[in-house]
């Protein structure tokens, strides 16, 4: 059974649809927020934190464990980043990898496939975070 079928079988289809609409919006917006880090660090890092915090909550509710663990990790890095006053190239590069992972999983869900393994580069957390 594909992941989309499983989500719809285990949850109200309106909830799944709203979740996927929000995820689509995140994918459309997240790279722009990452690009703003050098110009508007405080607002951008807070926006990114909210995105991953919301994703963490939604994926816990929907029992998307792989995505939930990923969202927790990114949220923890962003929580640490909120205590800093500027970004680093290493953090920005890492966040683009995280963004790419979100896009890949979204595509897999929409194709009713299975979720692939996480990109191992995600485990290379930027130094100082």
User: Contact at 8 Å (CB) between 116 and 105?
Assistant: yes
> How confident is residue 1, by pLDDT bands cut at 50, 70 and 90?
confident
User: What integer pLDDT is reported at residue 55 of this predicted model?
Assistant: 97
pLDDT tens column, 54-105: 999 999 999 999 999 999 999 999 999 999 999 999 999 999 999 999 999 9
- How many CB atoms are closer than 10 A to CB 72? 16
- Say what the pTM is: 0.93
Domain 13-123 has CATH 1.20.120: yes
List pLDDT tens digits, range 23-54. Answer: 999 999 999 999 999 999 999 999 999 999 99
């Amino acid at each position: 059974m594909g992941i989309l079928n499983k989500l719809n079988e285990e949850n109200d289809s309106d909830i799944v649809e709203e979740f996927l609409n929000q995820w689509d919006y995140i994918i459309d917006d997240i790279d722009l927020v990452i690009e703003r880090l050098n110009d508007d660090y405080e607002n951008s890092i807070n926006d990114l934190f909210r995105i991953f915090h919301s994703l963490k909550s939604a994926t816990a509710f929907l029992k998307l464990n792989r995505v939930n663990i990923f969202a927790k990790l990114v949220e923890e890095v962003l929580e640490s980043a909120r205590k800093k006053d500027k970004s680093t190239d290493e953090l920005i590069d890492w966040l683009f990898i995280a963004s790419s992972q979100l896009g890949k999983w979204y595509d897999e869900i929409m194709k009713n496939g299975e979720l692939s393994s996480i990109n191992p580069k995600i485990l290379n957390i930027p130094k100082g975070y």
